[in-house]
């Protein structure tokens, strides 16, 4: 496994990130770096500078493995690890260098898995630090839904690979339902083969600090990626998503839609606000003719004491594309929507709840697992109860 670029810091475009499996190849990040300027280092408990030593492991359980699904526990010398992509920042490299064993879930060639495969990961517990590596591999012409349910507490650095081979179709629903004190920094490496399809859902609810960095890479023409996100930040939470969709092959498609709500507690003052960060990078390289891409981020601020940073970036290096666009919006309740509902006899508090449910409804409706949809609807309802909305 070799480094794929020659030196850190030399970046000609968004896709030319330095990658390495060696943590010492990366400098300790600082707030002046664009990739880290929103991240509160004081909350990372040493994940970024190497001072967080592994003291425990995450517990991984896999259910719903019908015929056509293999689950293996492997060491770092397994040649399949890294197929999805190499670490592109110091935390990801630290996680690679520090995990004890990796879990590989393989959906075999031509397998059509009817029921969701559930991968449950429990954190190491409060005061403990763990590093984790997971690979989900969909072999050619296979189809499956994987629910990655992450819960518990502690400090977790992680790499997750999604390797989707030619003409495979993989749907992933990743739920961050951590305890209030948990810190989780994770890199998602997505590799798409010819005519491969991924539907990637990221749901961030619990945890003190979550930093999620999905990176999509097309290895052949015809790939199709949709990335959907839902997050709800309370006072004191920092929820950060940094995406890169790297179009380096012709005739590929991507759609990114992330929606978040924030509710702070002004009485707690500075340092306890609800804070969300969404950075959406899309790169269309010169060889990626026929690309069709769009990205959207919307944030709904429910109370004072909340801050949402949203930065969509679109870098186009060829004019021979189907379409490319991006949009970002952050605001409070739509007064016209509230007026419309109240004019029809709906009380204000009920009207506000309906607006929030409708705001998230587009994302929830796309999730193909009824139990998960119901769980998320209940979680949002509980968040609204807490906010008094």
**Quick count: other Cβ atoms within 10 Å of Cβ 356?**
20
Q: Locate 303 and state its tokens.
A: 């109370």
- Burial letters 311-338, b for 16+ CB under 10 A, else e: ebebebeeeebeebebebebeebeeeeb
pTM comes to 0.93
**Quick count: other Cβ atoms within 10 Å of Cβ 112?**
12
Residue 141's contacts (CB-CB under 8 Å, 6 or more residues apart) are 109, 110, 166, 167, 168
- The sign of the torsion formed by the CA atoms of 6, 8, 9, 14 equals positive
The reported pLDDT for the residue numbered 108 is: 97
Give yes or no for a contact between 261 and 224, defined as CB atoms under 8 angstroms apart.
Answer: no
The reported pLDDT for the residue numbered 106 is: 98
Q: Locate 215 and state its tokens.
A: 């990176």
In the predicted model, residues of the chain with pLDDT beneath 70 are 1-12, 269-271, 333-335, 337-341, 348, 386-389
The reported pLDDT for the residue numbered 339 is: 64
Residue spans of alpha helices (H) in the chain: 90-98, 335-342, 348-366, 370-387
Closest CA to 244 of 319, 316, 188: 188
Spatial separation of the C-alpha atoms in residues 216 and 243, rounded to whole Å: 8
């Amino acid at each position: 496994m070799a480094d794929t670029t020659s030196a850190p810091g030399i970046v000609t475009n968004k896709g030319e990130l330095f990658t390495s499996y060696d943590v010492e190849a990366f400098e300790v990040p600082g707030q002046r770096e664009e990739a880290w300027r929103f991240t509160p280092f004081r909350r990372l408990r040493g994940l970024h500078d190497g001072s967080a030593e592994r003291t425990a492991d995450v517990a991984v359980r896999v259910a719903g493995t019908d015929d056509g699904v293999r689950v293996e526990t492997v060491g770092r010398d397994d040649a399949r690890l890294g197929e999805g992509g190499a670490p592109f920042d110091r935390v990801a490299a630290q996680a690679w260098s520090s995990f004890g064993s990796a879990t590989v879930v393989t959906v075999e060639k031509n397998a059509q898995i009817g029921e969701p495969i559930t991968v449950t990961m429990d954190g190491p517990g409060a005061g403990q630090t763990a590093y984790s590596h997971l690979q989900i591999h969909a072999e050619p012409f296979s189809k499956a839904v994987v629910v990655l349910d992450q819960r518990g507490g502690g400090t977790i650095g992680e790499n997750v690979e999604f390797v989707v081979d030619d003409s495979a179709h993989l749907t992933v629903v990743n739920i961050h339902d951590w305890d209030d004190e948990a810190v989780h920094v994770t890199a998602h490496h997505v590799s798409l083969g010819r005519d491969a399809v991924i539907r990637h859902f990221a749901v961030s609810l619990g945890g003190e600090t979550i930093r999620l960095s999905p990176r999509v890479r097309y290895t052949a023409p015809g790939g199709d990626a949709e990335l959907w996100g839902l997050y709800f930040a309370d006072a004191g939470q920092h929820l950060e998503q940094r995406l890169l969709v790297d179009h380096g092959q012709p005739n590929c498609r991507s759609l990114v839609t992330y929606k978040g709500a924030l509710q702070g507690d002004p009485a707690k003052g500075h340092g306890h606000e609800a804070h969300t960060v969404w950075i959406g990078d899309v790169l269309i390289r010169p060889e990626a003719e026929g690309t069709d891409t769009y990205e959207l981020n919307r944030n709904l601020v429910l109370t004072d004491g909340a801050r949402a940073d949203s930065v969509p970036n679109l870098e186009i290096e060829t004019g021979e594309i189907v379409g490319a666009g991006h949009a970002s919006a952050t605001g409070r309740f739509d007064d016209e929507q509230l007026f419309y509902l109240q004019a029809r006899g709906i009380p204000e508090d009920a009207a506000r709840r309906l607006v929030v449910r409708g705001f998230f409804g587009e994302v929830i409706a796309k999730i193909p697992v009824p139990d998960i949809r119901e769980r998320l609807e209940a979680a949002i309802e509980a968040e609204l109860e807490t906010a008094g909305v």
